[in-house]
Amino acid sequence: MDFPGSLPPTLFRTGPLGVSNTPDLSFMCSWRDALTLPEPLAQNSQNGVSCTAAAPLWEPETPGPLPLLPPGPDPWDPGVTARDLLFRGGIPFRRKPRAVLDVTEQLSRFLWDHGDIAFAPLGKLMLENFKLEGARSHSKKKTVVSVKSLLQDLGGHQPWGCPWASLSFRQRRFSILGGPVLGTSVAGLLGELLHEELATRWERLLLDDAFTGGAMAWVPGRTPQVGQLVYPAGGALDKLRPDFREVSVAPGGDPQALGGPGHIQLRGPVRQVATHTVQGEALLAVRSDYHCALWKVSKQGRPAPLRVLQIGKGATGISLSPHLPGELAVCSRSGAVCLWTPQDGLRQIYKDPETLVFRDPSPWRWADFTAHPRVLTVGDRTGVKIIDTQGPPGCGLLLFRGGAEAACQKGERVLLTRYLGGCGPEPLCPTFHLILTQFSLYLVDERLPLVPLLKWNHDLPSAPLFAQLLPPPQPGHAQPLLLGGQGGHLRLLQLAGEGTFSSLSGRLDLSDATSPPRSPDRTSPEARPQPPVTPPSQELTQEPWARGVPSERQQTLRDYMAKLPLRGDPPGGVPSPLSPSRQQAPVPSGSQPRRRKPRMGF
Amino acid sequence: MSDFSEELIRSKTEDDQEESCVLSGTGMYFPWLQKHIDTVETGGKKEKDFAQTTSACLNRIQEALLKHQWPQAAGYMHSYFQILEDSDSHKRQAAPEIIWKLGSEILFYHPKSNMETFNTFADRMKNMGVMNYLKISLQHALYLLHHGMLEDANRNLSRAETWRYGEKSSSQEVLINLIQAYKGLLQYYTWSKKKMELSNLDEDDYAYNTASQTMLNHSWKTSVNLGALIQTPGVWDPFVKSYVEMLEFYGDQDGAREVLTNYAYDEKFPSNPNAHVYLYNFLKREKAPREKLISVLKILYQIVPSHKLMLEFHRLLRKSEKKDHHKLGLEVLFGVLDFAGCTKNITAWKYLAKYLRQTLMGNHLPWVQEEWNSRKTWWPSFHFSSFWAKSDWKEDKALACEKALVAGILLGKGCRYFRYICKQDHQVLRKKIRRIRKSVKKHSIVNPGL
C-alpha cells in the first residue's frame, strides 16, 4: 500500500464541466505516463515501449454469454431499436436530419391491426346513428347513415391520401359526424400514453441504468481452473443461469462445461449479479428491480440462500464487500444507501435525494467499497463521494467530481464506479477506483481524491455499464479489465502495474462482432405512399402526442383514422390502398438474419 | 417527458456542429445517439461520400490502434489526411489535433518509425493551426526526452517558450509555464549530473571551482523556470522535488520551506499526500523539533491514515511527553490496521501488541475501549476469523503470533484466533506462545482484573 513517491504532473482546475479554457493535459497520449515520471530517467528510456508492446494479445475464441443482455425471447434479438422509435425523413428535415419519436407510425399500426379494440367502444356509442344491413329502419333523420352504402362508397377507389379523391355526400356526412369523436378520443388518449411509452423506450435505448453493473459473474470452485459462470437466462431474465454448472478453463483449451445443470428460478428479472470470495467463502448477490438476494455458494457449487431484501423504491445497485463475508451495500432510487451486515442487519448509512455536485434528474445511485471496510463510495450521475459509515451522517469528501477537476466534457455523466481492490488474491491496487462515463475511463486513487491518475477515452459505441477486473493470465502479467457496453460491445484492456503506478495498455476490441447488420427487408421511405401536403390541422397540433411530430405526419394520422373500417366490416371487404406497404413493414424477428454471436476468449 | 422530442430536435438545430454528441432531455450527452439516428434511414441529407470515407477511415485507424496493428494504422492514416480538405470548416479545424494524437501514437510504436520521421511529423504538425503549437512542442520535447535526446528536447522547449500568438490567454500561460518547468527539469538533470561529478572532485582542484560556478548559474536559471508553474494549482511532485533539492543545496532553506509549505497547505491545491511527505522529510533533514514534525504528520494522518509514514508517526508520538500524543499514537496504529492493504503489516501488529500492553499497564483502559468500540463489530471477522488464523499460521508464523496477542487482549481468551494459535504445537515458538498466553491473561480488556 505504498503511496507513489512522485505523482505525474497534473494541472488542477476547479469549476463546472465543459469549461474550455482549461488546457486539458490528457491531450498527451498513452505514452505520456512513461515520460512524465522523470526520476529514473536512464532506466525509463525503453520502458514505455516494451511494457505496452509486449502486452499479450487476446484472441476471441469461444462464444459465450454477454454481461449485458436485454430481456427477450431470443437473447440475441436486438429488441427495440432506434429504427422502431424514430421518424424517418420528411421534407422539412431534408437539410438537417433530425430524430423525432414516431408516434404516428406506431399509432396507425395499432389502429390498423387492432381496429376492433380501438373503435369498437366508439362504434357501440354511435350505434343509433348507423343503419346496419338487415336492420329495417324508416327513419328519415339526417343523422343516420346507412353502413351498407357507406361501405360501398369506401369500397370504390380511394387512392390513399389523394386530396382530389371524390367524396360522396354520405362519406362527408360520416366524416363530419364521426371525425371529432374518432379523432380526439382515440388519438388523444392513446397518443399521449403511446408517446410516453415511446419516450421511455427511447431513453432506455440510449441508457438503461437498470443493467448497470452487468449480470455476469464468476464463482470460483475448488481449483482455480474450475468455477461457475453465473448469468441470467430465460425470456424474462428471471432464471439465474439455466445450466448453473461448472465450467473448467484450462489454459490453451476451450472452456468445458462439467457436471449437471442447475438453476435458480426467481420471481423477477435479474438486473445485476455480483460475486466475491471473501476468506474462502464464495458469495453471490443478485439485484432485481425491487428485490436483492444473497446466496452463499458452497465448495461443491451449491447455492444456499442467506437473505432477501426488499427495496420499495427500486434498487439501482448492489455491491458485495471484498473484505468481510456477507456484507453488502444496496442503493435505492430514493437516494438512500444501505449496508447489510450479518450481525447488524440492514442499516441506512446515507441518504440524499439530491445529487452530489450539480442538479441532475436521474435517481440512479451506486455504492461500492473501499480499502477501508467501513468506508464506502456513494456515486450518482454527477460525482462520487467517500463516506465513513461510522462517522456522523452527511459528511464525507468527494472522490470524483464531474467538473473541471477531471476535465469533464459538457454533458458528461458518471455511469459506473468500481472498486478495483479486492479482486484476486493479490490486489494490484487496493486503493484504486474505476469511474466510467460515456466518454472516458478514469482511474482514481482514494488517497488522492479529485485528481484522476489516468483518463482514457474508451470509445465504446454504447453506454459502458459493466467493468470487471480479471485475474492475470499468469502471475506477473498485466491484469485484464473487461468493459461492456449496453449494446453488447466488449472491450478488453490491460491494467499493467509497475509498483504503485498503473497504466492501461494492450487492448483488444471485440465490439465488431456484436453490431447488428442492417436489415435489408425494411421498408425504405420511398416505398411508402407519400402523404398529401396540406396545412396542419390546428386541433391536432395541440395534442401532446403531436408535439414535435411534423405536420405532414399528423395529417397522415388523420387520414388513417378517417379511412379506418368500423367493426363488423366483412374481413377483406375493403381493399385498402395501404396494404402493399403494410406487407412490407413488419418483419417478424425470426426472419431477420441472425447476428453473428459475439465471441469471447478468456 | 412531454417535451422530450422537442429537446431532441432543439439540441440538434442549436448545436449542429457537435454532430457526434447530441443532448437529451436531461442535459446528458449520448455520444452514441448520432449512431442511433443514423441507423434510421432519413429521407434527409445523406452524408457525403467524402465525409463517409473519412469517418470510416477514422474508425479503422482506431480499431488498428486498439489491436496494436501499427503498420495497418499507418496505412489508414495516410488516407485520413484527406480530412484536411474537408469543406466543413469545423471538422477541418479539429483535424490537426486528431491527426497529431493518432499520428504520434502510431509513430511512437511503429516498428519502422525512427526519430527523424517523428521529428518531421511533429514539426509539420506544429505549424498546422496555431492552437496546437504549444501542446505539440511540449509533447515533442517529451518524446525526445524519452529517447535520451536531452539537448534536442531543451532546444525544442526553448523555442516553444518564446512563442506567442495573439493575446496571452490563460490556457496559453499554463502551457508556457509547463514548458518552462520541463525546461527547468532538464536543467536540473544537468545540474544533478554536475553535482555527481563534483562530489568526485577534490575541493582544492581548479576544476572544482569552474564546475561549482556553472552549477550556480544553472540554479538561478532553474528557479526562474520552475517557480512559475508550482504557483499554479496542480500536482507538481517532480518539479517541486527537484526545485527544493537545488534550493537546499545552495543553502536557501527559507526558500525551500516556503515552497514546500505553500505546496502542502495552499487550499487551491488538491490534497496531495506527497506534499506533506516532502515537507516532513525536509523538516526531518533540517532537524526540526519533534512537535513540528508531529504537526505535519498529523495532517498526513488525516488524509492518508494508511501511509507507511504512519508507523514513523507512531514512534514520534510514543516518544513524546504529551498524554494526548500517546493517545493519538494508539489511534494511529488502529487506523493503519483498518485498511485492507495493511492487514499483513507485521511491524504494525508488533507495534500494536507492544503498545496495547504499554497503554494498559499505564492504566489507560478507556483509550483502548474508545478505539475498540467502533471496531468490535467488524475487526473480529476482518482480522481474527478462523480463516485468517489458519492462513496466517501457514504463511507467516511471526505475524500470527503478534495478531494472536492483540486478539487475545481485545477479545479475550475465548477468541478463535487466539485459541487456534495457542493450540499449535511449535517447537521454536512454544516459549513465545506461552508468553503470549501470560500477557493475554494479564492484559485482556474483556475481563479486566481477572
Biggest distance spanned by C-alpha atoms of chain A:
108
- In angstroms, the separation between the Cα of residue A267 and the nearest Cα of chain B is 30
Chain A hits for B29, CB-CB cut-off 8 Å, are 409-412, 438
Sign of CA dihedral A220, A221, A224, A229: negative
* Interchain contact, B339 vs A32, CB within 8 Å: no
Chain B residues near residue A451 by CB distance under 8 angstroms: 235, 270, 272
* CB hemisphere CA count around A215 (13 angstroms): 25
Nearest Cα of chain B lies from the Cα of A147 at a distance, in angstroms, of 39
Q: What is the pLDDT of residues A207-227, one digit of tens each?
A: 888 889 988 888 877 776 677
Does B340 sit within 8 Å of A371, measured CB to CB?
Answer: yes
CB contact (8 A) between residue B32 and residue A206: yes
Nearest residue of A to residue B192, measured between CA atoms: A39
Do the Cβ atoms of A472 and A480 come closer than 8 Å?
Answer: yes
Decide: A254 and A62 in contact? Cβ < 8 Å.
yes
Chain A residues in contact with B185 (beta carbon < 8 A)? 38
CA B439 to CA B432: how far, in whole Å? Answer: 10
The predicted complex's ipTM stands at 0.88
In this structure, the number of other CB atoms found within 10 A of the CB of residue A242 comes to 15
Residues 6+ apart with CB under 8 A from A366: A212, A213, A316, A317, A331, A378, A379, A380, A414, A416, A417
The beta-carbon neighbor of B37 closest among A35, A97, A431 is: A97
From A205, A323, A524, residue closest to B41, measured CB to CB? A524
Contact: B234, A96; criterion CB under 8 Å? no
**Which three three-digit cell numbers place residue A91?**
421534407
> Contacts of residue A512 in chain B, CB cutoff 8 Å?
63
CA A537, distance to chain mean position in Å, is 37
Cell of B40: 434510421
Indicate if the pLDDT at residue A245 is higher than 80: no
CB–CB contact A3 B273 (8 Å): yes
Task: Decide if A2 and B9 are in contact by the 8 Å CB cutoff.
Answer: no
pLDDT mean across residues, chain A: 69
pTM: 0.80
How far separated are the first and last CA of chain A, in Å rounded? 29
Nearest to B41 among A36, A341, A525 (CB): A525
- Per residue of chain B (450 residues), what is the pLDDT tens digit? 334 444 444 333 333 333 333 445 578 888 888 777 777 765 545 566 788 888 889 888 888 887 788 899 999 998 898 888 877 788 887 788 888 888 888 888 888 888 888 889 988 888 876 777 888 888 888 888 878 788 888 888 888 888 777 766 777 788 888 888 888 888 888 888 877 877 777 666 666 677 677 666 666 666 777 888 888 899 998 889 989 988 888 888 999 999 999 999 999 999 999 999 999 999 999 999 999 999 999 999 999 999 999 999 999 999 999 999 999 999 999 999 999 888 899 999 999 999 999 999 998 999 999 999 999 999 999 999 999 999 999 999 999 999 999 999 999 888 899 999 988 877 888 888 888 888 888 888 886 544
Structure confidence at residue A74 (pLDDT): 61
pLDDT of residue A163: 60
Distance (Å) from the C-alpha of residue B155 to the closest C-alpha of chain A?
18
Instruction: Please list, in sequence order, all residues whose beta carbon lies within 8 angstroms of the beta carbon of residue A481, skipping any fewer than 6 positions away.
Output: A434, A467, A468, A469, A470, A492, A493, A494, A495, A504
Question: How large is the angle between the packed helices B323-337 and B346-361, nearest 10 degrees?
Answer: 140
* pLDDT of A37 strictly over 60: no
| Top-confidence residue, B253 or A395 | B253
Domain borders along chain A are 103-135+142-157+165-206, 352-496
**Nearest Cα to A158, choosing from A525, A533, A565?**
A565
Which residue pairs from B6-15 have beta carbons closer than 8 angstroms and sit at least 24 positions apart in sequence? B6/A547, B6/A548, B8/A98, B8/A99, B8/A100, B8/A101, B8/A548, B9/A98, B9/A99, B9/A100, B9/A548, B12/A96, B12/A98, B12/A99, B13/A96, B13/A98
Q: Is the Cβ pair A30, B105 closer than 8 Å?
A: yes
Mutation test of the interface with chain B: which of A2, A35, A192, A481, choosing the one with the most B Cβ atoms within 10 A?
A: A35
Q: Any idea which residue has 458469495 for its cell?
A: A283
* Cell 499493467, located at residue: A496
The grid coordinates of residue A461 equal 459505441
| Option in B97, B148, B169 nearest A45 (CB) | B148
Mutate to test the interface with A, among B48, B61, B66 (most CBs of A within 10 A): B66
CB pairs under 8 A between A and B: 297
The amino acid that residue A402 corresponds to is G
Burial class (CB in 10 A: 0-12, 13-18, 19+), A444: buried
Would you say B186 and B160 are in contact if contact means Cβ atoms under 8 Å apart?
no
Cα–Cα distances in angstroms (integers) from residue B262 to residues A548, B239, B256, B449, in the given order:
57, 14, 10, 52
Residue A23 has its nearest CB partner, among B32, B45, B171, at: B171
Put simply, the answer to whether A373 touches B35 (Cβ < 8 Å) is no
Residues B5, A547: C-beta atoms closer than 8 Å: yes
The set of cell numbers assigned to B364 is 489507560
C-alpha cell at position A18: 465543459
All 3 cell numbers of residue B423?
A: 493450540
> Which residue does chain A place closest to B242, by CA atoms?
A39
Q: Which pLDDT score, from 0 to 100, does residue A89 have?
A: 56
Summarize pLDDT for A571-593 with one digit per residue, the tens.
Answer: 333 333 333 333 332 333 333 33
Read off the C-alpha cell for B354. 507492544
Region for A364 from its dihedrals, namely left if φ exceeds 0, alpha if ψ lies in -120 to 50, beta otherwise: beta
Rounded to whole angstroms, the Cα distance separating B268 from B277 reads 18
A420 vs B237: CA distance, rounded Å: 25
Please state, in angstroms and rounded to a whole number, the distance separating the CA atoms of residues A204 and A266: 23
Q: Which of A192, A279, A505 to mutate to test the interface with B (most CBs of B within 10 A)?
A: A279
Subunit contact A447:B66, Cβ cutoff 8 A:
no
| A2, A491, A544: residue with CB nearest B308 | A2
Please judge whether A11 and B178 are an interchain contact, meaning their C-beta atoms are less than 8 angstroms apart.
yes
Cβ–Cβ below 8 Å for A9 and B67: no
The CA distance from A143 to B231, in Å, is 88
Q: Which amino acid is at A111?
A: L
Q: Are A241 and A263 in contact (CB under 8 A)?
A: yes
Give the up-direction half-sphere exposure of residue B396: CA atoms within 13 A in the CB hemisphere. Answer: 14
In this complex, do A6 and B241 lie within 8 Å of one another by their Cβ atoms?
yes
pLDDT of residue A254 exceeding 70, the answer is no
Helix (H, G, I), strand (E, B) or coil at A496: strand
Count the helix, strand and coil residues of chain A and give each as a percent rounded to the nearest 5. 25, 25, 50
Return the pLDDT at A195.
84
Structural fold of domain A352-496? Methylamine Dehydrogenase; Chain H (2.130.10)
Q: Do B178 and A9 touch (CB under 8 A)?
A: yes
